[in-house]
Amino acid sequence: MLYLIKSLNNPAVQGVVAVSDISRLETIKKHALDVKDLRDKLEYWDVESVLKVHESLDFVNANINQLGLVPQGF
């Protein structure tokens, strides 16, 4: 939890995303309720969803590259 609170001191941070399994996310949510600044900026993302999104982005990126729609080095 401390690393999440520390991230709030970074001016580039507009929000904080906690990625974990469902049980750990519930624990984080419970502890975050006591920290107003964190509670208001915290979003939760299940690790299974993160992996699915990553796979989807990989698929899209590979197809775009295969079509040659984006110049090399861009």
Query: What is the structure's pLDDT at 58?
Result: 97
Q: Measure Cα distances from 14 to 23, 48, 74 in Å.
A: 25, 24, 27
E strand intervals along 1-74? 16-20, 42-46
CA distance 60 to 19: 23
Q: What is the pLDDT along the chain (74 residues), one digit of tens a residue?
A: 677 778 778 888 777 777 788 888 888 888 888 888 778 778 888 888 889 999 999 999 999 889 988 887 76
Domain residue extents for the chain: 2-67
Q: Which residue has the tokens 């750990």?
A: 24
